[in-house]
Amino acid sequence: MEQVECIIVGGGLAGLSAAYGLASAGVEVMVLERGDYSGAKNVTGGRLYVKPIRGFYPELWEELPYERPIARELVTMMGDGAHTTIEIASDRFAGAKPQSYTVLRAKLDQWLAEKVTEKGAMVVPNMKVDELLRKDGRVIGIRAGGDEIGAQVVIVAEGVLRLLSSEAGLAAEPQAKHHALGYKEVIELPSGVIEDRWHLNPGEGAAQFFMGACTKGMMGGGFLYTNKESISLGMVVGMEDMRRRRDGTESWQLLDEFKELPQIKPLVAGGVVAEYSAHSVPEGGISQVPKLAGDGYLVAGDTAGLSLNALVTVRGMDFAIASGYFAAEAVKRAKKAGDFTAAGLASYEASLRNSFVLKDLETARAIPGFMENPRLFTHYPVAVSRLLESIYTIDERPQAGLFKKAWRGLRRDFMNVATVKDAWSMRKI
């Protein structure tokens, strides 16, 4: 069997980040990517939080092919014919060192693949890995088509579906209840129109989340990111919620209906849909993180369940890049020690535990459970909008005082056993 030092399965951000670190250190590394090229199949919304990862490969992020630094964050709670949008803006969101950028994955991943190739790694697109080869419990290589290639260590970064890793017994098979379905369209709009519609300074960007009526009360929400000359508009819905629905709604219809809503329609008016895609999103949190390393292998990125949806912040890409970085560090260490067993690779898990990756996931341990509460997606968006609507309503009747209106709304919608229970459960998130 032909041998290389390290095989990486999956040329997404996790795989490429690992490859970059390894190739920079002169480790012989081969990335196998199923798609026509890296990023070809990626559906990410998306926004990359760069602050957490700036310290890894600092030279790279100077050249990051980003779309717009995000200066405005918007959250829209959609009720019954009324909605409330909260805007959060800060000079420190964009500014000299922005904390996050919108990105288009086809561009980002191809760029990173190029950087990886420049460092001397081999990135092979159109190459689906069919099997992880195992011998006496140790991962010894891969099979792709008719060819078997051996490796001292295999980094499995195959994304969310875990087809290979679950078949090889490295991770549990993904379950619907721990996943959501994501749909996304890239809609082209001239940059000036984008800046007008989202009140942006030239070059700056906005991110907008929607919750409530847009998912028909199911867990999830809508998202909108402004790119240079397009917007990424999409929706994420819990797979279990979707499956339980009996009214014949197909999940993809939600996005079509979302675009027709009176709040959304003017935002996308005149836009041309350039791309449509769908993908599953891990939502299980830290409880779904498998064993991160074993004899001859490491798992990284979505395969390792490193993804965090905390309602208004969605993270996965920064975790993918960070886990790739730490995977490369661990493999370098293992190479030095000549030990690619679970013990030799153990520094990987330790680094992740000491970093923001597993710390943030640990902090957010209660979030997946919290999000199972349907009132988040039904009652609250409606109640907030109803309360504010009443305050802003003047009709032919004599008006109650401001305080009285607010009090009435609060008492009706926010002061009962269920909401008190919800408030209590919030202390964990």
Partner 1 sequence: MDIVVCVKTNPDLQMVRIKNREAVTEAVPYKIGDLEKNALQAAVDLRAAAGGKVTALCLAESNRKAAEDIKVALAMGADEAVVIDDPALAAPDQAAIAAVLAAAVKKIGACDLLLFGEGSSDNYTGQVGARVAELLGLPQIGYARKVEAADGAVRCERSMDDMIETLEAPLPAAVTVVSEINEPTIPGLMQIMKAKSKPLQVWALADLGLGAPAPVREIVSNLAEEQDRKNILFEGTVAEQADAFVNALIKEGVLGR
Ligand X SMILES: Cc1cc2nc3c(=O)[nH]c(=O)nc-3n(C[C@H](O)[C@H](O)[C@H](O)COP(=O)(O)OP(=O)(O)OC[C@H]3O[C@@H](n4cnc5c(N)ncnc54)[C@H](O)[C@@H]3O)c2cc1C
Residues that bind partner 1 (CB under 8 A): 2, 4, 30, 32, 36-37, 104, 106-107, 110, 114, 117, 122, 124, 126-127, 144-147, 149, 188, 272, 274
Among ligand X, partner 1, none, the one that 385 touches (CB under a kind-dependent 5 to 8 A) is none
Closest CB 4 distance from partner 1, rounded Å: 8
Query: Which of partner 1, ligand X, none interacts with 9 (beta carbon under 5 to 8 A by kind)?
Result: ligand X
Q: What is the CA radius of gyration of the chain?
A: 23
Nearer to ligand X, 108 or 387 (CB): 108
Instruction: Tell me the backbone φ, ψ of residue 418, rounded to 5 degrees.
Output: -65, -45
How far lies 206's CA from each of 123, 193, 194, in Å?
A: 34, 13, 9
Give the nearer residue to ligand X in terms of CB position, either 78 or 304.
Answer: 304
Contact positions with ligand X (CB under 6 A) in 216-245: 234, 236
Least CB distance from residue 428 to ligand X, whole Å? 23
Any idea what the Cα angle at residue 375 is, between residues 369 and 381, rounded to 5°? Answer: 120
CB closer to ligand X out of 255 and 383? 255
CA-to-CA separations, 182 to 160, 278, 366, 393, in angstroms, rounded? 12, 5, 22, 36
Angle, helix 317-337 to helix 356-363, in steps of 10 degrees: 130
> Is 164 or 289 the residue whose CB approaches ligand X more closely?
164
Could you check whether the bond before residue 95 is cis, i.e. omega within 30 degrees of 0? no
Using CB distances below 5 to 8 A depending on partner kind, what does residue 145 bind out of partner 1, ligand X, none?
partner 1
Question: Are 8 and 29 spatial neighbours (Cβ–Cβ below 8 Å)?
Answer: yes
Residue reference for tokens 């195992």: 134
Contacts of ligand X in 151-180 (CB under 6 A): 157-159, 164
The piece of 11-19, 288-296, 340-348, 385-393 that touches ligand X (CB under 6 A) is 11-19
Interface with ligand X: number of residues (CB under 6 A): 41
Q: Which of 53, 132, 320, 327 binds ligand X (CB under 6 A)?
A: 320
Identify the bridge partners of residue 148 per DSSP, sorted by sequence position: 143
Candidates 44, 347, 378, 385; binder of ligand X (CB under 6 A) is: 44
For residues 213 and 80, is the Cβ–Cβ distance under 8 A? Answer: yes
Amino acid identity, residue 126? Answer: N
Q: With respect to partner 1, which residue has the nearer C-beta, 276 or 356?
A: 276
Verify binding: residue 69, ligand X, rule CB under 6 A: no
Minimum distance from residue 159 beta carbon to ligand X (Å)? 3
Asked if 98 is part of the footprint of ligand X (rule: CB under 6 A), the reply reads no
Binding of ligand X by 43 (CB under 6 A): yes
Query: What residues contact residue 339 under an 8 Å CB cut-off, 6+ apart?
Result: none
What crossing angle do the helices spanning 379-391 and 402-414 adopt, rounded to 10°? 170
Strands 205-212, 293-294: pairing kind: unpaired
300 in Cβ contact with 156 (< 8 Å)? yes
Closest distance between ligand X and the C-beta of residue 17, in Å?
A: 8
Tell which residue, 322, 274, 329, has the closest CA to residue 302. Answer: 322
Q: Which is nearer to ligand X, 157 or 213 (CB)?
A: 157
Q: Where along the sequence are the contacts to ligand X (CB under 6 A)?
A: 9-15, 32-35, 41-48, 128-129, 157-159, 164, 182, 184, 234, 236, 279, 281, 301-303, 307, 314-318, 320
